Amino acid sequence: GNSVTQMEGPVTLSEEAFLTINCTYTATGYPSLFWYVQYPGEGLQLLLKATKADDKGSNKGFEATYRKETTSFHLEKGSVQVSDSAVYFCALDRTTDSWGKLQFGAGTQVVVTP
Amino acid sequence: GAVVSQHPSRVICKSGTSVKIECRSLDFQATTMFWYRQFPKQSLMLMATSNEGSKATYEQGVEKDKFLINHASLTLSTLTVTSAHPEDSSFYICSARRTSGSTDTQYFGPGTRLTVL
C-alpha cells in the first residue's frame, strides 16, 4: 500500500541556517506530492505541491522536487527564520480517481532559534 | 484565504457518552469534506469522506456506526463519536474542498482534541 516516511523531529536550527526535511514515499501509480505546514494553534496549510516527476514545488522560500527514481520529495529552505517554526507534513494523494484522500507522514517539528 | 473552523477545540467527556464535533467552511461552500484522526506523534489518518446530501464513505477499518458523519449543508459537516471510550481519545481534524474555476484546494480546520475519561 501507499506510505509516507519523513524524518523525525524535532529539528532545531539557528536563524538563517539551511533546512532539509527528508520525505520518501511508496505508492502505486503516480501520486501528487505535497508539503503541508501547521503553525501552533492553526490548521494545516498547503505549503507546496508537485504533480509529476521532476516537478519542483516552491513557496515562501521553500522548495521540493518530485524525484521518481528515488521516490523522494525532500523539503529545503536556504535560510530559515524564527517564523518558520512549525510542524511540517509530507503527503501524497492516495488514489488518482478519488480527489483529496491524502496519506500523511508523521510530521516533523522544526524549531528555529534567534 | 479560505477558513475552516472546528468546534469545539477541546472536549472532555465520560466513557459511554456521545460527542459531536462540527466542521464549518466559513467563506466557501464545500460539497466534500474529510475527517482525519491523529494520534500523538503519528500521522493523520483519513477516517471518512463527507459528501453533502449523501452518505459518507468510510475508510477500511473505521466503524461507521461508531463515527457518525452528517453533511447536511454546503458549509457544515459533523462527526459524532458515539458511546465514546478512552481509546477514542485523539485529535480529530477536518478539511474541506474548495473548487474555484478549474482549481481544487483542500483547507484544513485547526482540529478538536477529544479526551474520554
Q: Does B108 touch chain A (CB under 8 A)?
A: yes
Residue A75, CA distances (Å) to A34, A36, A70, A99, B24 in order? 10, 10, 14, 23, 31
Contact A68, A53 (CB under 8 A): yes
For residues B5-13, give the mean pLDDT.
96
Cell of A92: 501524497
How near does any CA of chain B get to the CA of A113, in Å? 22
Distance CA B69, CA B22 (A): 10
CB contacts under 8 A, B 87-106 vs A, are 93, 95, 97, 104-106
Q: Cβ separation of A100 and B41 shorter than 8 Å?
A: no
Closest CA to A99 of B77, B34, B43: B34
Q: Indicate the average pLDDT of chain A.
A: 92
Residue B41 pLDDT greater than 90, yes or no = no
Query: What is the rounded distance in angstroms from the CA atom of residue A106 to the CA atom of residue A86?
Result: 13
Single-letter residue type at A71? T
Burial (CB < 10 A; 0-12, 13-18, 19+), residue A109, is middle
The strand pairing partners of B20, in sequence order, are: B80
Distance of alpha carbon B45 from alpha carbon A4, whole angstroms: 12
Cell of B48: 471518512
Q: Dump pLDDT digits (tens) for A81-112.
A: 999 999 999 999 876 556 778 889 999 999 99
- For chain B, what is the mean pLDDT? 92
Q: A41, B110: Cβ pair inside 8 Å?
A: yes
How far apart are the C-alpha atoms of B34 and B43, rounded to whole Å?
A: 15
Q: How far from A100 is each of A32, B13, B79, CA to CA, in Å?
A: 10, 31, 18
Residue B2 pLDDT grade (very low, low, confident, very high; cuts 50, 70, 90): low
The three cell numbers of residue A65 are: 522536487
What residue in A sits closest to B103 (Cα-Cα)? A99
Interface test with A, best of B27, B59, B62, B106 (most A CBs within 10 A): B106
Could you say which of B41, B104, B108 has the minimum Cβ distance to residue A106?
A: B41
CB contact under 8 A, A46 and B105: yes
pLDDT band for B105, please (50, 70, 90 cuts). confident
Which DSSP letter does residue A72 get? Answer: B
Instruction: Give me A98's grid cell.
Output: 478519488
Distance from CA of B19 to the nearest CA of A (A): 21
Q: Decide if B44 and A89 are in contact by the 8 Å CB cutoff.
A: yes
Contact B49 A43 (CB under 8 A): no
pLDDT at B111: 93
Reference B106, options B44, B19, B41; nearest CA is B44
Rounded Cα distance, A38 and A19, in Å: 16
Could you tell me which of B110, B106, B11, B4 has the C-alpha nearest to residue A32?
A: B106
